[in-house]
Chains A and B, each alone.
Chain A
């Protein structure tokens, strides 16, 4: 990249000025340049949920390459009292315990009333509904607490990106019990530094199969459908997941696939579904059947005919192996590289990223076989990224804002009040696992900047600074302690101010200034 070519024919003064600017940019730009404090703060906002004294100290002096490699590969750690709380969370229960109870054919049936009815509920709730709701809120708030307190904020930001890319809706059927495990599986796949691994982890998880109805999709001429037809039930294909695999998860809209590709893919992925607890062992272990966790491929539901997907033919007679081939075909498709590179750049660089940066990212993707670190390298190394860290311009998404404001208010204290975070994230419209449609939450200013959004942000800034808010974790990991923000810490979190903001602050008390800073244009952007 040719960014040092100062125009020498200009008058000397201007050339010198430009040279100085380029030099200043070069001092902090570049994937292998150690970050100064301002750059580190911006990085912690861009790939994370805000800076505080400790994270700023830990990040200053390291390089963007180190930051991102660590984000992808290292497991995060959480402060001891939070780790205790997370371990006790209902969502921490492994799927091996939950599936026999709540999975299809499980023992906690829908008609079994709850031992304790929730207060104010007009209708009788089943134990399963009560447990499910508790489990989903736990999964969602675990994600918020982990994002707020992680020693590896880049890891949380990237994981949240992928969870949103492969978005599921937690309220759909038994996904209430599966959301937490879905996050754990994507987290594991993320450490492989490969898009294909993430794609497979999502596809082969029961939560995705259930969310987009593929567990119910049956080839019309399969043994299962014929058996059902004799019993008077007509079964067939549901193309919901197939369409979104193409449109949202991989190639993207307008990338050349047709309705017949959607239908071919829907046929290829018939048989993919979830394990039923009552399925006899001989069916689970029958030839051609395959169990992956609680995902189950049932050859009796599969379409073994010949198919043609995106110009490639899939000969007759194949089962789950053709699903794997099709997933590979989609993951390695050149349009997938362009689609995901563009989406990463829009999330982590700008609403309208420079096309050359996106092109370089897509090329890096192709050259590396879809490695995420390689794809992000051209972005981190671009002058546009360096400039964007100097002048952060992307409007924060609601969760970015809520968590960074909480971190600024609680500087140093561990954030542990999941109820408060849940209410704030719900109110602002971006609670994890609560997006109903499979496109995931948007990342653009136009998606989020609105009068109600501004009102909510201002109200949160006012609330967090006007009185001690019980956001922090108590000593035993369970109780709450108040966060008492200080003006110095809030200033550290917000960073450099523009002249309008500085002027507007004059005459305010320290407490008023904290509220105004958390609602300032500078703090709304990352």
Chain B
């Protein structure tokens, strides 16, 4: 499906050649006019099953210390209270607590899918397909992009296509690794002709277009142009993402995934390292977008499932059910908890081991899509079939 604004192959070729020749950027890539009233949704998907109870802990719950003797020690001693919610942020997540205080962050402690398998792969598929099933050809963001029509473009900041974007015409722009550069010569012309309109040919065209955008955006930053030393972590890529999103207001749907949250054993040290980077990246995203863009942006940070309420025998946690989701943005109703938290008493747990799901993932995704894309109920039911209602 061709978007009206999507440059033709000829335009692309001209653009790429213009870049190669150092010429000014052609009109096809001029900064887009901002359409007022349009919002943007950025989904940050933490793969591996984040232990949400470690990030934001229900410190007011009398069962916490007994269930998590090792993992709750730090937060019980030094946690940062999140208003009157009864939760406190782990000290490694201080910036998140500050965002909560400034009402730019809300959290759902029992967010999740209908997954019963506790399999990473099944739960991630279920999440990303968003159709209530574990099989399908099209991810929910691909359907959202279709529903939004030509007014909105969809982008994934990753090197390979996540399931959430499959079956649509999302662009991919990896922010780490060797990227999209190809030598633009007669060979490339021939290769593009051979691949034609096959999926592989479209992928080549998209690589050229994205690289042109990336060159332009990073070209604006003298530090990036000098190739500042190589921490390829999330804070840096979040800053680049922010620049690209700010430059391209029509990028209304974005997806990023981060790995490394499957903490079966000794989870405190790795989470104490990775959570500050996550928080720093979220701040970099907000600051990079600037106040006006931050107002129209909602960021949903989520994971495929939470982990066991009890600490396991190796000071880690095993696969669970309900998990933590964070909603951030300049104009969201922040400083609050989304959905119920039934507490940690054994009778309130799912199968006596995990948090239940009180916020269906489609309900919160639906809420953010309604607010950022203006989708009506019928559209939401097409994008997220089986959505039980808005969170």
Contacts and interface: CB of A to CB of B under 8 A. Distances in A.
B181 interface: yes
A217 B313 contact: yes
A439 interface: yes
Contacts of A469: none
Contact of A521 (B179, B186, B198, B318): B198
Contacts of A429: 159-160, 177
Contacts of B191: 458, 461, 504, 515-516, 519-520
Contacts of B318: 238-240
A427 B177 contact: yes
Interface in B146-175: 159-161, 163, 166, 171-172, 174
A216 B183 CA distance: 50
A516 B182 contact: no
Contact of A238 (B181, B183, B193, B265): B265
Nearest to A523: B194
Contact of B265 (A213, A234, A427): A213
Interface string B174-210: 1001111111011110110111101110011011001
Given A454-B195, A454-B207, 7 more contacts: A213-B314, A243-B319, A395-B200, A436-B260, A437-B262, A451-B207, A508-B190
A519 B195 CA distance: 9
Interface string A418-442: 0000000001010000001101000
A277 B36 CA distance: 68
B194 A520 contact: yes
Contacts of B260: 436
A505 B194 CA distance: 8
B117 A462 contact: no
B180 A455 contact: yes
Contacts of B265: 213, 216, 238
Given A238-B264, A427-B178, A450 B172 contact: yes
A253 B134 CA distance: 11
A456 B178 contact: yes
A17 B327 CA distance: 63
Contacts of A468: none
A451 B172 contact: yes
Contacts of B47: 437
B120 A455 contact: no
A237 interface: yes
B6 interface: no
Interface residues of A, number: 56
A85 B264 CA distance: 39
A452 interface: yes
A217 B315 CA distance: 11
Interface string A484-506: 00000000000000001101110
Given A216-B314, A451-B206, A243 B119 contact: yes
A216 B200 contact: no
Contacts of B259: 436-437
B312 A237 contact: yes
Contacts, number: 161
Interface in B318-339: 318-319
A510 to B, nearest CB: 12
A281 interface: no
A1 to B, nearest CB: 29
A512 B193 contact: no
A459 interface: yes
| Chain A facing B: main interface SS | helix
A420 to B, nearest CB: 14
Contacts of B237: none
B313 A452 contact: no
Contacts of A456: 178
B295 interface: no
Contact of B314 (A217, A447, A461): A217
A430 to B, nearest CB: 10
Given A450-B159, A512-B187, A516-B191, A455 B181 contact: yes
B48 to A, nearest CB: 8
Contacts of B314: 213, 216-217, 235-236, 238
- Of A220, A237, A243, A519, the most chain B CB neighbours within 10 A belong to A519
Contact of A453 (B120, B166, B198, B203): B203
B312 A238 contact: yes
A451 B180 contact: yes
A455 B159 CA distance: 11
Contacts of B181: 455, 459
A436 B119 CA distance: 15
Interface of B: 47-48, 69, 117-122, 134, 159-161, 163, 166, 171-172, 174, 177-183, 185-188, 190-191, 193-196, 198-200, 203-204, 206-207, 210-211, 259-260, 262, 264-265, 312-314, 316, 318-319, 351
| Chain B facing A: main interface SS | loop
Contacts of A213: 264-265, 314, 316
B190 A458 contact: no
Interface of A: 212-213, 216-218, 220, 225, 234-240, 243, 247, 253-254, 259, 262, 395, 427, 429, 436-437, 439, 445-456, 458-459, 461-462, 466, 500-501, 503-505, 508, 512, 515-516, 519-521, 524
Contacts of B207: 451-452, 454-455
Contacts of A500: 193-194, 196
Nearest to B160: A450
- Of A240, A429, A524, the most chain B CB neighbours within 10 A belong to A240
Nearest to A228: B313
Given A236-B314, A243-B118, A454 B204 contact: yes
Given A216-B314, A450-B161, A508 B187 contact: yes
A451 B203 contact: yes
A521 B178 contact: no
Contacts of B210: 451
Contacts of A436: 259-260
Name the 3 nearest CB pairs between A and B, nearest first.
Answer: A236-B313, A451-B207, A504-B193
A447 B48 CA distance: 18
A504 B194 contact: yes
A452 B174 contact: yes
A267 to B, nearest CB: 12
A253 B351 contact: no
18 contacts: A225-B313, A239-B312, A240-B264, A247-B121, A254-B134, A395-B200, A427-B178, A446-B161, A449-B161, A450-B159, A451-B207, A451-B210, A452-B159, A455-B207, A458-B182, A462-B188, A504-B191, A516-B194
